[in-house]
Amino acid sequence: MTGFLDQDIKFLPGVGPKRAELLAKELNIKTFGDLVYYFPYKYIDRTKFYKISEVHAQMPHIQIKGEIRSMDTVGTGHKQRLTARFYDDTGSIELVWFQSVKWQLEHLELNKEYIVFGKPSEFNGRINVVHPEMETEEEKQLKPAGLFQAHYVTTENMKKKYLLSKTINKFQLTLISLAKGKIKETLPEHITRKLKLVSLEEALTIIHKPENTIDLKNARFRLKFEELFIIQLKILALKHNRENKFKGFRFEKVGFNFNKFYSDFLPFELTNAQKKVLKEIRRDVNRNVQMNRLLQGDVGSGKTLVALMTMLLAMDNGFQSCMMAPTEILAQQHFQSVSNFLNGMGIEVGLLTGSTKASERKVLHEALEAGKLQILIGTHALIEDVVNFQNLGLVVIDEQHRFGVAQRAKLWQKNDLIPPHVLVMTATPIPRTLAMTVYGDLDVSVIDELPPGRKPIETHHFFENRRKQVYNFMRQQMEKGRQIYVVYPLISESEKMDLKNLEEGFRHISEAFPEAKVGMVHGRMKPVQKENAMQKFKQGETRIMVATTVIEVGVDVPNASVMVIESAERFGLSQLHQLRGRVGRGAEQSYCILMSSYKISNESRKRLATMVRTNDGFEIAEVDMKLRGPGDLEGTQQSGVGFDLKIANLGKDGEILKLARDVASEILSGDPFLQKEENRVLLENLKATKQNEFDWSSIS
Ligand code: ADP
Ligand code: MG
């Protein structure tokens, strides 16, 4: 049986087949339900009136009351323009029409009270309102739209066919009046009662036709809650389902190697955050359930060490581990630091990347298969390769470009026996709200503390006029023995042009610092050349490294203490933060210098100011999400979770999200398959939702 909301939109009075087609094509609105869930993006408060003396050009919309005392036309034909002088008791303002001049002349009356509504602008130093809405008091009262006017996003194609925001508003009002008593509740009563939520029907009515701000707030809350709640319910059910389906290896004991490393080889105390995370991991791997844990920690917070100790834990319980890095350079670096840590322990570590020679590869394969090699480090090629482990118990993924829920699912589905435990590490902090959604099916650990003794990086923002001082400063630092990165952004669409930019930068820096050896690294170089250039910098042979963002990822040169970022306004916040993380790795005070042109947008200004203000990656991620919106953040597209949020905003609705997750979790713990009568409506709701990445029909 089709419900009220399933009806074809063309049957809504006033719509008809032509507009139905346009709505479907432009906004994907095909049914009554699609329309009523097409929410306004803003409301304009038509209860507020301004005095003409208060009006200035920066105001978004104004409403004023008064009368026209004179009208005038200028020009002829289609160039004709009508201007009217509009007065209240505080002054006058100009109203202008470029279109439908004739119609206005016939209908507007002098010395009659009108309500003028429009956007003020400035022209030749005078304030005017172009194409205002003109209404009498009676007309305004008769308006069905209510005093808060809802505004909807429309497209160019719709505007051409006169299907405007106003038109949509009219359709919505028709729809909600027809819908009275016909919209079924989609949340169980025990939730609406407990959280004092307004009914779905009420919420949908109010959202399109609010009478006051309190009602609107309640309606929005209800709709946001439901949207986030359904997502959380899906994700948590997915997790639940997985935990039921897959057993996990049990790492029962903390054994010889772990203990020996901890007491004799660890060169420093673990930070409290590292200890806490290790505890969380140990709990996970000792439950007979597969671990799926995300380890978040800012650059330099010591994630590698945590990974290493987890691998020792696996080893002590008779399991092999592997650790995957996104690039060859990083895999090598991990191999190096893990080997250094383990030096003297008598544990062999393997390295397998794209450039491992065939003969070495063969030896590695055999050792892995025979169970002679316990720890393997490599690139992603590692999983695709024909590597057969004897007994793989743990996979560590050092992941810059995040895996989505769906991709992760593949990883463990590869194995139809017991899948290995998975630890995903990310150095790009993401806001908690986003983590709960993108990584909602994982358990999350956070290292929120840097090892002691690190000096926070000092960050400064300079305009072009200070370049000389900046160069002097660079020179001083080099005289103290430090090394320097200078990073150029990708500016043009074409790689050739970018290379030219970079090469110019290289020449420029070489000329400015004749005393120093300057190196260069960029994405178009062959891996060997890149590696070569990096090695020279690492060994201190080159003192300045001119680079593109290829050095963004994990490269470790402790003696580099200055990061100069050219045209910093062109970089995103998380990129700036990643770049800055390349310095501050040694004992010396490090600096990040952001160079920008004078003319930068407000948003760029905020980004740079945020960088200067804080070193905290999580705070930066929050600002980033607020500035850009979560949809633009890396990782959300491939998340595999329906991210098409209609009303909730992950940047702003963190509290509601948390509530939604708690409620979902509570319900699932008492009724994992939603079989209770009181939750029946929820199961129906889930089955009906469109983006169905989880097959709900399979469980009932
Ligand atoms: P991440 O991978 O989180 O960016 P690393 O694991 O590379 O960070 O650690 C950064 C540096 O800090 C390394 O040189 C590492 O040896 C060191 N380090 C890690 N843990 C500690 C600690 N508890 N105390 C002091 N130094 C530490
Ligand atoms: Mg690292």
Residues 564, 593 contacting (CB under 8 angstroms): yes
Structure tokens at 534: 């990096």
Which residue did the predictor score with more confidence, 613 or 442?
A: 613
Q: Is residue 671 part of a domain?
A: yes
Cα of 559 vs centre of ligand 1, distance in Å, is 15
- The β-bridge relationship of strands 458-463 and 591-596 is parallel
For residues 437 and 520, state if they share a domain: no
Question: Is the minimum distance from the CB of 149 to ligand 1 under 6 angstroms?
Answer: no
What is the average per-residue pLDDT within 260-268?
94
Q: What is the pLDDT of residue 416?
A: 52
pLDDT at 273: 95
DSSP characters for 239-306? HHHHHHH-B--------HHHHHIIIII--SPPPHHHHHHHHHHHHHTTSSB--EEEEEE-TTS-HHHH
Q: Is 581 in the pocket of ligand 1 (CB under 6 A)?
A: no
Q: Which ligand is nearest to the CA of 277?
A: 1
Largest CA distance in the chain: 97
Cross-strand partners of 117: 63, 133
Q: Are 625 and 633 in contact (CB under 8 A)?
A: yes
- The reply to whether 553 and 685 lie within a common domain is no
| Gap from CA of 443 to ligand 2 centroid (Å) | 20
Q: In sequence order, what are the residues at sequence separation of 6 or more whose Cβ sits closer than 8 angstroms to the Cβ of residue 30?
A: 8, 9, 20, 23, 24
| Selected residue with higher pLDDT from 692 and 656 | 656
Domain contains 193: yes
Can you tell me the distance from the alpha carbon of 194 to that of 230, in angstroms, rounded to the nearest whole number?
Answer: 17
Q: Which of 141-145, 231-235, 525-529 has the highest mean pLDDT?
A: 231-235
Report CA(450)–ligand 1 centroid distance (Å).
Answer: 8
Label residue 89 exposed, middle or buried (CB < 10 Å: 0-12, 13-18, 19+).
Answer: exposed
pLDDT (0 to 100) of residue 696? 38
What is the C-alpha to C-alpha distance for residues 613 and 592, in angstroms, rounded to an integer? 12
According to the model, what pLDDT value does residue 634 have?
Answer: 42
Q: Say which ligand is closest to the CA of 308.
A: 1
Angstrom distance (rounded) from CA 157 to CA 293 = 47
Please give the number of the atom of ligand 1 that sits closest to the Cα of 268. 24
Q: Which atom number of ligand 1 is nearest to the Cα of residue 269?
A: 23
pLDDT band at 688 (very low <50, low <70, confident <90, very high): confident
Q: Is the CB of 304 under 6 A from ligand 1?
A: yes
Q: Looking at residue 700, what is its pLDDT?
A: 25
CA 305 to ligand 2 center in whole angstroms: 9
Q: Point out the least confidently predicted range of 91-105, 167-181, 639-653.
A: 639-653
- Of 210, 203, 206, 211, whose CA–CA distance to 184 is shortest? 203
Task: Tell me how far apart the alpha carbons of residues 700 and 696 are, in angstroms, rounded to a whole number.
Answer: 7
Indicate which CATH number applies to the domain containing 284: 3.40.50.300
pLDDT (0 to 100) of residue 616: 86
Q: Read out DSSP for 29-96? A: --BHHHHHT---SEEEETT--B-GGG--TT-S-EEEEEEEEEEEEES-GGG-EEEEEEEETTEEEEEE
pLDDT, greater one: 626 or 131: 131
**Does one domain contain both 212 and 171?**
no
Residue 650 lies in a domain: no
- Asked if 346 and 470 sit in the same domain, the reply is no
Determine the atom of ligand 1 nearest the C-alpha atom of 398. Answer: 2
pLDDT per residue as tens digits for the range 172-208: 999 999 999 999 999 999 999 999 999 999 999 999 9
Mark whether 177 and 192 lie in a shared domain.
no
Last residue of a domain, one of 397, 426, 447: 447
303 lines ligand 1 (CB under 6 A): yes
Q: Same domain, yes or no, for 333 and 348?
A: yes
Beta carbon of 268 within 6 Å of any ligand 1 atom: yes
Indicate if 12 and 86 belong to the same structural domain: no
pLDDT confidence of residue 76:
83
What percent of the chain is modeled with pLDDT above 70?
A: 89
Confidence of residue 693 (pLDDT cuts 50, 70, 90): very low
- Residue 524 located in a structural domain: yes
Pocket flag, ligand 1, residue 266 (CB < 6 Å): no
Q: What is the CATH number of the domain that holds 130?
A: 2.40.50.140
319 & 356 share domain: yes
Q: Is residue 630 part of a domain?
A: no
Q: Are 173 and 84 in the same domain?
A: no
Q: Name the least confident of 219-228, 437-446, 531-540, 622-631.
A: 622-631
> Does 308 fall in a domain?
yes
Closest CA to ligand 1's atom 9: 302
pLDDT at 567: 92
Pocket test for ligand 1, best of 304, 339, 590 (most atoms within 8 A of CB): 304
- Cβ-in-10-Å burial (0-12, 13-18, 19+) of 64 comes to buried
pLDDT band at 413 (very low <50, low <70, confident <90, very high): low
Q: Please, which pLDDT band fits residue 449 given cuts at 50, 70 and 90? A: confident
Ligand 1 pocket member 548 (CB < 6 A): no
Domain carrying residue 378: 256-447
More confident site: 553 or 655: 655
Q: What is the separation, in whole angstroms, between the first and last Cα of the chain?
A: 20
Q: Both 85 and 104 in a single domain? A: yes
Quick check: CB of 325 below 6 Å from ligand 1?
no
State yes or no: pLDDT of 641 exceeds 80: no
Higher pLDDT, residue 607 or 534: 607
In this prediction the pTM is 0.68
The finding on whether 505 has its CB within 6 A of some atom of ligand 1 is: no
pLDDT-based confidence at 102, cuts 50/70/90? confident
Residues 95-120 have a mean pLDDT of 90
In this prediction, residue 143 has a pLDDT band, given cuts at 50, 70 and 90, of low
Ion ligand 2: residue ranges with CB closer than 5 A: 304
What strand order describes the sheet that includes 560-565? 458-463, 591-596, 560-565, 483-487, 544-547, 518-521
pLDDT band at 628 (very low <50, low <70, confident <90, very high): confident
Domain count, the chain: 5
Q: Are residues 151 and 239 in the same domain?
A: no
- For residue 617 and ligand 1, the question of a CB distance below 6 A is answered with no
The answer to the question of residue 583 being in a domain is yes
User: Residue 214: in which H helix or E strand, if any?
Assistant: helix 213-245
- In terms of pLDDT, which residue wins out, 381 or 104? 104
What residue's CA is closest to ligand 1, atom 18?
302
Question: Residue 521: inside a domain, yes or no?
Answer: yes
Residues 488 and 561 in one domain: yes
Q: What mean pLDDT is reported for the chain?
A: 86
Q: What is the mean pLDDT of residues 87-96?
A: 95
Task: Assess whether the C-beta atom of 311 lies below 6 angstroms from ligand 1.
Answer: no
